[in-house]
Chain A
Amino acid sequence: MRRVVVLVGVVLLVLLGACGTGPAAPDSGGEGGLALAVSKINAALDPAESLTTSYLRSFGAGESLAKIRPDGTVAPELAESLTATAPGTWTVVLREGATFHSGAPVDAEAVRASLERSRVLNELAADLVEEVTFDVVDPRTLTATTAGPSPYLDATLAHYELQIHNVASYAGLTAPATTADLTGPFRVTAFAPEQELTLERNPTWWGQAPAVDTITVQQVTDPEARAQIALAGQADVVDLLPPSAVAELRTAEGTRLQGAPAANTVAVYLNPSSPAAPALADQRVRQALAWAVDRAAVAEIAGEGLTGAAPSWLASNPAYPQADEQGFTRHDPALAARLLDEAGWVLGPDGRRAKDGAPLVLRLQTWGTEGPTGEVLQAQWDSLGVTVELSYVDNALVQQARERGDWDAQTAAFTTLGNVANLFAVQMGADGSGNYGRYDLPQVPALIERASAAATAEERTAAVLELNALHTEVVPAIPVHPRPQATAVSARVGGFVAHPLQYENLVQPGYTLDG
């Protein structure tokens, strides 16, 4: 009997212990503190780790020599200036007195060491600066030299894979780094990998001191949970919100929904040599599918109005407003139907299109956040008489299907901002990793050469636009819309500027906090 009583007592105590402390206060770090709920935090704080290094940049801890502005142009950042001093040479002048978080000076030698370290440890960085040589001229100046012309090197140096860090602080690491020594407006004070990160204002930052004192960043992988956090006002900035929550967030008090379209074009890549959907080999069919997309409707339904139409692949790049006039600028189901008729895919009595008894069917794979886009496209193409089998899969399966060549259509979104000539080479070059359908177009190499090495900016731009036009003609991928990026920002945060790069949308040095 006594044992039973003791047991029950212990259980009750455990329960009381669990409940006793009661609900904690919301996660805002006090008056001057900013609370973030984001989909992902890095596992390590080494900026030479590929990909995850972008998070350091998102949270205001790291900087590169340059930065891409919301309009798509490039501006110096940690560098005071970046100038193309010769066709293959850029001169970088550093800011006077800039220091790392640890207090070490950011001189030309430190910058060179940082870039070289990234080149050695980070494959993606290595690829960015593959043929670039960095030389120290004086403590505040260094040069970057390439074999041929390099008109986009400033955009390359703005890449987050090339954040400048204090190599000395990372020397001799045997385990993933848990501290960071960079140059951003905030510096890391505590770090729990993939869980929580706290930062404070960097008093020695070269720019105007931020108004925010501290930042706590919480990793919340579940998009719905992030939406609820935003609705409940439990964080000031919440990223990558699910479209399903947008309607609710729009009307929510105390938070504003920011939806700058990203410089990423969501496109449906088509496989011209698909064994299951031979129709895709026909350019007219690909064009027909592209004309049949009601992009405004897709943007409204799948993008919840947070994005717009992308008539051409380059349309999501704010630096090329001309691209908005190219390609599939209108919804033209009649033209689409005519093209399909010409290609021999005629409408049967059952409302389906077929040729020689074979129905026009294609499998559309989507992954990540592109599911709703696929759903709307399926419905739109269905009304054209095209049957779409939609599957929502994960990245590995998408890749495997591609390796085998056993796929018809897949959604993917590539960045359109940066070294545009190179980006087109990836999309349309015979060897481009984004050329999933392996289109081999004879005109492309010359156009890419012109786009990257022509003497004047006008010539290069003309070549880029020509490439974009070719893309809309051949249709290796159907551009649909810029990827929507829903970010909730609480009403007390001022100074938010929407940026086409998602990672620039989270912590901005110009934030102000009221209340």
Chain B
Amino acid sequence: MLRPAAVVGARALAGTLAVLLVASVLVFGLVRSAPGDPVDVQLGEAGGVGLSRSDIDRIRTERRVELGLDRPLPEQYVRWLGRMVTGDWGTSYVSGRSVRAEVLDRVPASLVLAVSGFAVAVVLAVGLALLASRRPGGPTDQVVRLATLATVAVPSFLLGTLALQVATAATGYRIAGPATAGRIWLPALVLGVAVTPTLSRVLRASLIAERGRLYAVAAQARGASAGRTLLRHVLRPALAPALTLGGLAFASLVTGSVITEAVFSWPGVGRYAVDAISAQDYPVVQAYVVLATALVVLVNRGVDLVQRLVDPRGDARAEAVA
């Protein structure tokens, strides 16, 4: 089906926006249905200073008006959405800083970690998949298989904690600190190792499947060596299913390496979100969830595009495997 690129693009954009809008309503509604009042959160520790209850009530009312919390919910939502779109993501209740500044402070660290972790995973997964798919069921395949199985079974927090203990004792690894090259290798490795098994398994399966197809046999019948058959014939079609998986893995790495960031005190956005959630820092939670959704949707779209480039056969086939 050939449609003008502009139409396709516009439709994709509209779909993306629709998903984002729905997500924003959900996020707003969910957060507002939470117990407790944002103002309580701000006043949380104030009791210790010695305020009387009437003082607290007075301050609470003032703050509510200040934050617009006395308005009807739909109005609050529209105002909030307008501010989100224009880049004013509100002020953190906890720190009093602009949420945008706080998030943007932390995004690079998360991004770098996600990219590095993903790179580790890709290298490991491709290597293992190539190794394992050489002789399906052979000894190498079995060893790789068992190793990945065992890795899947180790929860990432356990893996991270152990790695941190060992690295600290062995190399003087800095347990906490800024997002520097000296610190990234360990969480990147842990993340990468955690993502590798699923990735390599899909790649292995699709390599084996594509290798068994007639065209691969045909290539060899025409004199292509095993290596050439792999690289020039089999690899590209085999990549498609792994790409989908990889894209989703990447999206969740950027937004969600919460546990790893926590274990390694990595100053990223995942850890920040956890802190905000437990502190009921509503503007931060709202902004974070909307941003994470946007990112996931965008990465999904990006993966679609890349996949179309890598394998232009289109949806019919992608659907058959995915």
Contacts and interface: CB of A to CB of B under 8 A. Distances in A.
Tell whether any CB of A sits under 8 Å from a CB of B in the complex.
yes
Nearest to B98: A175
Interface string A418-442: 1100110110010111110000000
Given A18-B116, A399-B36, A218 B176 contact: yes
A404 to B, nearest CB: 9
A220 interface: yes
Interface residues of A, number: 70
Given A18-B116, A26-B172, A176-B97, A221 B178 contact: no
B5 interface: no
A234 interface: yes
Given A128-B49, A433-B52, A225 B175 contact: yes
B174 interface: yes
Given A123-B59, A400-B35, A234 B175 contact: yes
A27 interface: yes
Nearest to A20: B181
Contacts of A123: 46, 59
Contact of B116 (A15, A51, A431): A15
Interface string A1-34: 1001000100110110111111111110000000
Contact of A14 (B41, B97, B116, B278): B116
A395 interface: yes
A253 interface: no
Contacts of A381: none
B55 interface: yes
A1 B231 contact: yes
B46 A222 contact: no
Interface string B167-207: 01101111111101111110010000000000000000000
Nearest to A426: B50
Contact of A23 (B171, B178, B232, B280): B171
Given A1-B232, A14-B116, A400-B35, A196 B168 contact: no
Contact of A124 (B46, B54, B98, B184): B46
A11 B169 CA distance: 29
A179 interface: no
B311 interface: no
A350 interface: no
A276 to B, nearest CB: 17
A43 B96 contact: yes
B278 A394 contact: yes
Interface string B67-100: 0000000000000000000000000101111100
A11 B265 contact: no
Interface in A84-143: 123-124, 127-128
B212 interface: no
Nearest to B185: A19
A4 B184 contact: no
Contacts of A18: 116, 119, 181, 184-185, 188
A228 B278 contact: no
A455 interface: no
A336 interface: no
A225 B165 CA distance: 10
A396 B35 contact: yes
A195 B267 contact: yes
Contacts of B177: 24, 27, 218
A229 B175 contact: yes
A221 B47 contact: no
Given A218-B177, A397-B35, A400-B35, A50 B52 contact: no
Contacts of A22: 182
Contacts of A21: 180-182
Q: Which 6 pairs from chain A and chain B are nearest by CB?
A: A43-B95, A396-B36, A24-B182, A220-B176, A21-B181, A19-B185
